[in-house]
Structure formats: C-alpha cells, structure tokens
Amino acid sequence: MRRTTLGRTGISVSRLCLGTMMLGAWGNADHDEAVRLVHTALDAGINFIDTADMYSAGESEEIVGKALKGRRDEVILATKVHFPMGDGTAPAGSPAVVDPNRGGNSRRWIKREVENSLRRLGTDYIDLYQIHRPDPTTDIDETLSALSDLVREGKVMAIGCSDFPAEELVEARWVAERRNHVPFHTEQPPYSIFMRGVERAVLPTAQRHGMGVLTWSPLASGWLAGKYRTSAGLELNDFRRELIPHKFDQSLPGNARKVEIIEELVKLAADSGHRLTHLALGFVLSHPAVTSAIIGPRTVAQLDDLLGAVDVVLEDDVLDRIDALVAPGTDLNPSDADHTPPALADAALRRRPRAERGA
C-alpha cells in the first residue's frame, strides 16, 4: 500500500483511507463482520481510518474501537465533531437532540464530546480530530482555541476540518497565526468525477498552505461503482433513501445527467483497462493536492474491489476524456453539496430590511 505524508504533520498515511460511515446501523450492523472488514483493511496495508461521532449515533466509533484492540499503534485514527448528538436514548442512526448545546463547534461541546469519542474508540488519544462542518454561530477563534488545548493536553495529535470553503480555510489560518493557536492541518472535502467544485478554490488553497487533504465520496454515493445505470426504479438502501435522496432524485437535471455520463465512463474504463471503481479512485488520487481518498465499503467484498485502485495511474488522455464529460470545477448536481453557506440558505442574509431599501 503506497503511503504519503499528511500535510506538514510528518505523519505517514496510506493513499487509501478506510471510512467507516457504513459500519453500524446506517450500513453493516453486524459488529463481527464490521470488525473483520477493518482487520482486512489493516492487513492490506491501510493504516488510516476515518470515522465520526455522529455515524450511527456513535456506533461506528464503538465498532472501530473494538477492531483496534491490540492494534491501536498501527493506525492513524481520525474522527470528527460538530453534528448534534442525542442523550443516548434515541434509536441508533437517528439521534434525538434534547439540548441545542449538544452539537456545533463551541468550546463547551468540543471539550465534552472529545471525551465521548475517546471512550467509544477505547483510546486515550486521537491522531486527527476534525471539525465536521463550519458553524456560523461560533467564532473560529473559539473553536481553534479549544482544539489547540486538546493538542497541548496530548488528547489530539493534529486537527482538521471538513467541507470548509476556501475563504474559511484562509480565515482559520489567519486567526491561528494571530492568536497563537494550532492551525488546521487537514481539510476533508467531497471530491469525485461527478463533484469537482473543490477544484476551483478549496484544493488549490489547501495545497498552497501545506494542508493534507482527505477526500470523501470518491464513488459519488455509489454512482461510480456502477450501481445505478438506469433512471427507472433506482433501488436505494435505507441510508440513501432517507438521508441523501437528493443525490438520486431524477427530477433534478444533474442526476439525470449522471445516468448519461455513467455509460460513457463505463466505456472509458473498459477502453483504459480499468474497473469503473478504479477509474473513479484513480481520478481522485491523480490530483496533486489529494493526500488520501476515503473509501467507505460496507462489506469485505466491496473492500477487496477497492484495494487495487491504489496502484492505478491514469494516463493524460484518460483524464482529458473525463474533463470532456464533466468540466473541471463543476458539480454535476449542485444539490449534492452537503454544506450550504448560510448566505445561500437564508434569504434574509442577502436582503436589507425592507425599511432600509428605500422607496
């Protein structure tokens, strides 16, 4: 398994990172099988595992903790904080928020939730602790201050963020320098053949500042695994149907276009001698800013298919043909984005109060 350095941290990580969102109630609820999947990844040379507190309401972290017993020192372990967490009484996979302070990027929540993650993971330190999404209600100074304390306490080795726009990456770096905080070492954006918007500013900004980049959803939620080849009767599992239906809604032009392009990509993969999944991962890993591509298999068989992609090197003519199908810097279906800036989500933020608009 090829390795590289995670930004400027000096930490060596595999080019494929095992994402564990599908371990637990959202995907594979068989803990023994999920542990076998993690062990298979480790035995294949993957040393980088990414999870989050909110995946299946903490169950994913618990499974990872079980899998790493006796093998913790082999692994660079990453998890995330931000999304609301319930009080432990809600059904797995659907945490009920009983307190608005049980989420977000405040010092109060970060300091509390890191302890919960450490307990679920069965470890006394986290290699990479990431802010799962921006929080417009919390000053980035507050967030970086809390994270820096965790680094100095030895509970966290490095810190990162996920789905941050380029301007917020720059602001966070400026604040860290001015306030003597630990800066974000990594960014985790969505990136695939179908979702290339981060090529415009996020990836160049991360590269310019020496940040490591972990990309999620390189298979575009299963589209680039060849699972969905027709617009009629898409068979979605509960996770896709309930939590990300907008990524498959055929009334959206971008999703209808996916059905057309996937056939062209199947042909391109065959012409270039690659599996479609390997073509998709090879595309992501070809970007010079990308450190590791996060893969999220639900089964060992899916993992086995993806492992070979780390050795795929796409020729320029193949990348040119991909560019012709989906233009660089383009998100095929803009609604695939899981984070919408407040100024776009709330019309009131784009409009002066009526009394100030004049006659």
Residues 6+ apart with CB under 8 A from 236: 245, 248
Q: How far apart are CA 309 and CA 286, in angstroms?
A: 12
Q: How far apart are CA 35 and CA 49, in angstroms?
A: 13
Give, as one character, the DSSP assignment of residue 155: S
* Cross-strand bridge partners of residue 295: 18
Distance of alpha carbon 274 from the chain centroid? 25
Catalytic residues: 55
In the chain, the N- to C-terminal Cα span, in Å, equals 66
Gyration radius of the chain over CA positions = 20
E strand or H helix at 66: helix 59-67
Residues 6+ apart with CB under 8 A from 200: 329
Give, as one character, the DSSP assignment of residue 26: T
Mapped onto helix, strand or coil, the DSSP state of residue 130 is: strand
Closest residue by Cα to residue 169 from 84, 55, 289, 282: 289
Q: How far apart are CA 297 and CA 182, in angstroms?
A: 33
Q: How far apart are CA 351 and CA 356, in angstroms?
A: 10
Whether 203 contacts 230, CB under 8 Å: no
Q: In the chain, what are the helix, strand and coil shares in percent, each to the nearest 5? A: 45, 15, 40
